[in-house]
Amino acid sequence: EKGTYPHFMLKEIDEQPFVMRKIINEYQTENNELKLDENIRAAMKACDRIYIIAAGTSYHAGLVGKEFIEKLAKVPVEVHVASEFSYNMPLLSEKPLFVFISQSGETADSRAVLVKIKELGYPSLTITNVPGSTLSREADYTLNLYAGPEIAVASTKAYTAQIAVLAILAVDTAKAQGITLDFDPMQELAIVANAMEILTDQKEGIEELVREYLPTSRNAFFIGRSTDYHVCMEGALKLKEISYIQAEGFAGGELKHGTIALIEEGTPVIALATQENVNYSIRGNVQEVVARGANALVISMRGLEQDTDAFVIPHVHELLTPLVSVVPLQLLAYYAALHRDCDVDKPRNLAKSVTVE
């Protein structure tokens, strides 16, 4: 139940630090080793390529997961939108492993892919918040998200739980392959949980940013590079689905290939700057849009911040920044919807789980 919260979405945003701690507990042994089903470990080791299949927010989590698995475990990963994969299957590798990411475990588009790849005899793993769900029952293996029921149509805590579990899976696979990593994932996730808590305590500041940057605009752009780009896609989806502001997340470098034509006086542009190797380039993109009149809201990370940044998130491990940078974006969407008197938890035309094609 909502308790004292006006909306499930706000409650679920606030629950994220607790979900992180729950995941740390569930995926750790008493000796601080990673706790993962041996069969999953073996399947991850045996495959030559991973195909992540998902929709919406879960697809966005998959994009971040690809980076973890490729960078840490050195296994190639493709991420596919489920509804596309069904009709336009790419050329598969010799030993594929299919990973389905789904909060509900009931998304019809993903289920259709699972049926198809099972017919072809390929192994499957479902990462879900609902252990008894169809995708969980029908796949060979399941990893649970432990996020607790997510009621609001806009997915928040499931997204961060998916990313945390994907990080654990990537680290575990790396270790199983004898790759040594220079950080302790559980320690880093604990730092993330604390950072999330700091951000959920800054709601008034974010509501103020909504007044300043998204007052009456009909559209908004989110720009980022590298990992930040993927979080921008999620920030835009959150904003559009609950506030009905037309929002687009795209790669900073793509601006000059078309989208910059849309920037005019007062256009809101939300830029993420949490990645050191692209900090200089994304700052350049911000200057480009500001020069054309954009109202640019820069969200950066401690250590990379500049004086003009509107919001600075606490410093966390560079790979895990999506877990933290998404929180202000979720809150921006929440307050933008609230200020427009939208039905935050039940946006028009949408269902919590999409069980039809």
DSSP string of 150-218, one letter each residue: --SSS--HHHHHHHHHHHHHHHHHHHHTT---SS-HHHHHHHHHHHHHHHHTTHHHHHHHHHHHSSS-S
Q: Binding of ligand M6R at residue 227 (CB under 6 A)?
A: no
Burial degree of 210 (CB within 10 A; 0-12, 13-18, 19+): buried
Q: Which CB, 169 or 289, lies closer to ligand M6R?
A: 169
Residue nearest to ligand M6R (CB): 56
* Distance in Å, CB of 15 to ligand M6R, minimum: 15
Q: Which CB, 56 or 96, lies closer to ligand M6R?
A: 56
CB neighbourhood size of 337 (10 A):
25
Q: Which CB, 99 or 298, lies closer to ligand M6R?
A: 99
Residue indicated by tokens 């609001």: 152
Q: Binding of ligand M6R at residue 104 (CB under 6 A)?
A: yes
**CA-only gyration radius of the chain, Å:** 20
Which window, 40-48, 148-156, 271-279, 310-318, contacts ligand M6R (CB under 6 A)? 148-156
Q: Which CB, 191 or 354, lies closer to ligand M6R?
A: 354
Return the ∠ at Cα 14 (arms to 12 and 336), rounded to 5°.
Answer: 75
Q: What are phi and psi of 110, to 5 degrees?
A: -75, -35
* Distance in Å, CB of 128 to ligand M6R, minimum: 8
Q: Binding of ligand M6R at residue 353 (CB under 6 A)?
A: yes
Q: Binding of ligand M6R at residue 268 (CB under 6 A)?
A: no
DSSP 92: P
Of 14, 36, 40, 56, the one binding ligand M6R (CB under 6 A) is 56
**Subset of residues 236 to 255 that bind ligand M6R, contact rule: CB under 6 A:** 237, 241
Q: Which CB, 129 or 300, lies closer to ligand M6R?
A: 129
Q: Binding of ligand M6R at residue 330 (CB under 6 A)?
A: no
Of 117, 154, 171, 272, the one binding ligand M6R (CB under 6 A) is 154
CA distance 292 to 182: 43
Of 55, 147, 271, 329, the one binding ligand M6R (CB under 6 A) is 55
Token pair for 239: 């904003």
Q: Binding of ligand M6R at residue 354 (CB under 6 A)?
A: yes
Residue indicated by tokens 């605009």: 217
Q: Which CB, 237 or 289, lies closer to ligand M6R?
A: 237
HSE at residue 106, side-chain half, CA atoms within 13 A, is 10
Return the ∠ at Cα 37 (arms to 99 and 185), rounded to 5°.
Answer: 80
Q: Binding of ligand M6R at residue 279 (CB under 6 A)?
A: no
Q: Which CB, 152 or 214, lies closer to ligand M6R?
A: 152
Q: Which CB, 20 or 154, lies closer to ligand M6R?
A: 154
Of 16, 57, 134, 142, the one binding ligand M6R (CB under 6 A) is 57
Which window, 1-9, 17-25, 150-158, 319-327, contacts ligand M6R (CB under 6 A)? 150-158
Which window, 65-73, 147-155, 194-202, 243-251, contacts ligand M6R (CB under 6 A)? 147-155
Distances (CA, A) of 235 to 5, 42, 55, 161: 22, 35, 15, 16
Cβ atoms 173, 36 nearer than 8 A: no
Q: Which CB, 104 or 267, lies closer to ligand M6R?
A: 104
Residue 36's contacts (CB-CB under 8 Å, 6 or more residues apart) are: 27, 143, 168, 169, 172
Q: Binding of ligand M6R at residue 126 (CB under 6 A)?
A: no
CA distance 153 to 348: 10
| Residues engaged in binding ligand M6R (CB under 6 A) | 55-58, 102-104, 107, 110, 153-155, 237, 241, 353-354
